[in-house]
Structure 1
Amino acid sequence: MAKAKSKAKYGLPTPLILLILLTINAAVVPLLLTRYHSLGTISWLQLTPYAFYLLSLPLSWLWFHFLKFKGDPIIPAIVLTLAGLGIVMQYRMADATAPDTWSFTWLAYPIGLFSFLGITALLNKNRLSAMAKGNINWLAYLTALAVIIAMALLGRRYRGGIYMPGNINPSEIIKPLLIIFLAGFLAKRNKAFSTAVAGLPTPRLGSLLLLLTVWVVPMIIILFLKDLGLLILLNAVLVTMLYVVSRRKGYLVLGSVAVVALAVAAMTLSPHARTRLEIWQNPFSDPTGKGWQLLQSLSAMYSGGMWGSGIGAGAPQTVPIAASDFVYAAWAEEVGFFGCALLLLLLATLFIRSWRASTTATLPFAMLLGTGTTAALAFQTILNIAGVTKALPLTGIPLPFISHGGSSLVATMIMAGLLTAISEK
């Protein structure tokens, strides 16, 4: 009896995987049948994302049992559920707009899945300890800096974002790289950033100047690239990690003021950001032009009501770029208030459990890596949904797991792999 109880402590619960499978199938199969009925055929390429997802569930179940995973099983279960909902929405957007809108998804999801599973296998406690003692943080920093410079020199601007050849959005991979850098940097200098006088943080001057010097360089380039969303996100993560390493609330207060001041300054200097601020303040100032997207988004969410029009029964094509930045509006229209509440509950549960697992990690590097990654995903969610609902100005930040974009999905799955690995005690 004791032996059976011991066996149940690792891996992913089978009923949970079956529930995820049934939930995603209930949404995807009707969309595929509707598409077949309207077109008379479905190509193998159009079935590929769904086929990969179906294979990923038993593969993940076998993988975590093979590894004898003893971390928090809810974290990978929610990750797989959210990834499935993302595929549902991309099928829905393809049906509403163009057949090839989501064509990169067939490649992005397998890459993201194998990255997710690979990281959970590779990052055990010994390897995390070795990473903390080594210079991987500086390697991550230099890689991120090289990517940012490449964006400035070789990138092309499209819909407010910077893209490299192959429609790759390099800004997505910058997030985990700079979080790894901050985790390694702060873990080695936790005492230097923990001192305070009269409740105000007074970090050692040498450590503070070094951090500011290396941090300002990529931030200036990002500001030059006019990527306000990424700029705000990364600095919010920095403030969070400074608080975690020091437990000084002064970092939260002073850091929050600094981030808001940075956002205001960026909006003042950037005409593009200033336009977004003006549209946020009054979208009716240009209702058929620059305010059209936000107004259509609000209209779509309002029409969804409590229960929504049903998946496949809405009109997401009326919202410009609904598949990426405004996917939450399309989701709200078709599943309503309760569907949105379910999505937010899944995301909140993922963030809460990831934060709890990270803050109880024994290694300072793992604790900082986990809390920084959790903060990045949480802030990204807040910035996206707040922008779509007009609570904040638009930033162009995608919704994790759900928004269309191969680069975003791969980077998000990498960060989810980090959180899953850190949850294992």
Structure 2
Amino acid sequence: MFNRSISFKAPHNLLLILNLFSLSLVMLFNKSFDRLSIGVVLGLTLTIYLSNIILLKISSGDNYILLIVSMMMSLGIIMIYRINPELGFKQVIWYMLGIFVFYATYFIVKKIPYWNKAMYLYIGLSLVLFLSTLIFGSNINGATNWIKIKGYSFQPVEIIKILFVFFLAAYFTNRDKFENKYILSAIVYAHIGFLFIQRDLGSAMLFYLVFIIIFYVYENDRKFILLNMLGASLMGVMGYFLFGHVRVRVETWIDPWSSISGKGYQITQSLFAISEGGFLGTGLGKGYPTFIPEVQTDFIFSAIIEEMGILTGIAVIMLFLILIYRGIKISLEQRDGFFRIVSLGITSMLGFQAFIILGGVTKLIPLTGITLPFLSYGGSSLIMSFASLGILQVASEYIHFDADEEETIDEQRAKKNN
């Protein structure tokens, strides 16, 4: 599907140089020349370089998506390591684990058939994870979406994201057997309802946006789509009146300056950091990103702009746009109905997640508690993002076009319209 050439190796070399120079600057700033720091620099650069080279050898699909993500990871780790070397080292470990998960997911999804037959399994697993979160979950920043086990914590919703996309893809692939848009909507809103109960409204909005995109593409009843959009608007209004932390975020979005030392402190510090960076930034180690609470997770974009400049911030946005473009291209060229929807869903998930957090830290929209994919510090979010990327890699090369197999979704829709 995608052409490969020897010249494609040039970006890997540029990325290798970028990591070596940038991480060396961070080491100079932190005055850390111990074996651990040197191991972080060499381990990260070699992992990024080799992972992309290996992908060129084993995959006939789109080899640009991992390269794009590698660039994002480089910027994220450089910034996190500058803010806190210990967290930077942990992020490198998470990245290496994420690369392993990427390849493991790639081979598992590629080798195991009949993913479109397991719709009920996806619903069941999601229900189990939701119930586990409600029973064993811990409340962090107003949302009960973490499970802690022996000092380690993870967010089950990160796994549910992939199950949710697989469920939608399985439903629309097999809609000729059990098409019922009302039952579909009930299951989708049950997912969103669980997230409301957990007070994880950022994820609830993300799930809804992914659903409405896929629903808009594959549902013929436009009135029903508008009805869903109206229902979602009413749920948003209800969330504002039911949850105090939602009202706080809306109020700080409208006017953070009136409480600059209180609830508006985080967003105002983010805006100060962005304005301080200018076009080229203050330079690595010369800014004050630690003035922003939770800067390594929710506000990593603001920290990058402060020390690397608005131009680097624009580059981050462009990387996301290119990743979304590649994902949509994969979806359009994929001839297997299931993987076409999966690639659209995963691309929408990553794109909307980036938009929600980028819009939040720049005060374009109210801030929500989700991370910036591939740049923010975190374990479960990063690993599941790499799992999603591995699935997208399979979709970029897996073209299913057997006349003896089931009809494609487009054929089903054309037959229904006729």
Q: TM-score, normalised by structure 2?
A: 0.87
Residue 146 (structure 1) aligns with: 128
C-alpha offsets along residues 357-379 of structure 1, whole Å, 9 cap, x if unaligned? 11221111101100000001110
Tell me the C-alpha RMSD between the 2 structures: 2.5
Counterpart-to-counterpart distance in 2, 1:237 and 1:17: 32
Quick check: 1:303 aligned with 2:276?
A: yes
Counterpart-to-counterpart distance in 2, 1:142 and 1:11: 46
Q: Give the 3-state SS of the residue equivalent to 1:390 in structure 2.
A: coil
Moved over 6 A (4+): none
Residue 408 (structure 2) aligns with: none
Residue 26 (structure 2) aligns with: 31
Once the two structures are overlaid, the 10-residue window that deviates more, 49-58 or 215-224, is 49-58
Counterpart-to-counterpart distance in 2, 1:222 and 1:216: 10
Q: Cα distance, 1:421 vs. partner?
A: 1.6
Q: Label 1:317 to 1:346 Cα distance change in 2 as closer, same or farther (>3 A).
A: same
CA contact (8 A) 1:236 1:259 kept: no
Counterpart-to-counterpart distance in 2, 1:143 and 1:332: 40
CA contact (8 A) 1:12 1:61 kept: no
Q: Cα distance, 1:317 vs. partner?
A: 0.8
Once the two structures are overlaid, the 10-residue window that deviates more, 320-329 or 51-60, is 51-60
Q: Give the 3-state SS of the residue equivalent to 1:414 in structure 2.
A: helix
Q: Label 1:81 to 1:249 Cα distance change in 2 as closer, same or farther (>3 A).
A: farther
Residue 370 (structure 2) aligns with: 397
Quick check: 1:163 aligned with 2:146?
A: yes
Counterpart-to-counterpart distance in 2, 1:252 and 1:13: 42
CA contact (8 A) 1:50 1:87 kept: no
Q: Label 1:256 to 1:32 Cα distance change in 2 as closer, same or farther (>3 A).
A: farther
Counterpart-to-counterpart distance in 1, 2:7 and 2:65: 10
Counterpart-to-counterpart distance in 1, 2:19 and 2:142: 32
CA contact (8 A) 2:81 2:89 kept: no
Residue 59 (structure 1) aligns with: 50
Quick check: 1:412 aligned with 2:385?
A: yes
Quick check: 1:339 aligned with 2:330?
A: no
Q: Give the 3-state SS of the residue equivalent to 1:405 in structure 2.
A: coil
Give the partner amino acid of 1:350. Answer: L
Q: Give the 3-state SS of the residue equivalent to 2:282 in structure 1.
A: coil
C-alpha offsets along residues 64-122 of structure 1, whole Å, 9 cap, x if unaligned? 2442x22122212112211222211211221xxxx433453243212210111223334
Q: Cα distance, 1:401 vs. partner?
A: 0.5
Counterpart-to-counterpart distance in 1, 2:310 and 2:49: 32
Equivalent pairs counted in the alignment come to 394
Quick check: 1:100 aligned with 2:86?
A: yes
Counterpart-to-counterpart distance in 2, 1:81 and 1:285: 38
Counterpart-to-counterpart distance in 1, 2:194 and 2:27: 44
Q: TM-score, normalised by structure 1?
A: 0.86
Q: Give the 3-state SS of the residue equivalent to 2:19 in structure 1.
A: helix
Counterpart-to-counterpart distance in 1, 2:133 and 2:70: 31
Counterpart-to-counterpart distance in 1, 2:100 and 2:357: 26
Structure 1 unaligned regions, length at least 5 = 1-6, 193-203
Counterpart-to-counterpart distance in 1, 2:268 and 2:214: 36
Q: Label 1:357 to 1:297 Cα distance change in 2 as closer, same or farther (>3 A).
A: same
> Equivalences for 1:4-403 in 2 at 5 Å?
9=4, 13-36=8-31, 41-42=33-34, 44=36, 46=37, 49-67=40-58, 69-94=59-84, 99-124=85-110, 127=112, 130-132=114-116, 134-135=117-118, 137-161=119-143, 162-165=145-148, 166-189=152-175, 207-246=180-219, 253-403=226-376
C-alpha offsets along residues 258-299 of structure 1, whole Å, 9 cap, x if unaligned? 433322221221111111111111112321111100111111
Give the partner amino acid of 1:278. Answer: E
Identity of aligned residues (%): 28
Q: Give the 3-state SS of the residue equivalent to 2:139 in structure 1.
A: strand
CA contact (8 A) 1:370 1:419 kept: yes
Counterpart-to-counterpart distance in 2, 1:393 and 1:184: 33
Q: Label 1:191 to 1:143 Cα distance change in 2 as closer, same or farther (>3 A).
A: closer
Q: Cα distance, 1:48 vs. partner?
A: 5.2
Counterpart-to-counterpart distance in 2, 1:252 and 1:218: 18
CA contact (8 A) 1:49 1:109 kept: no
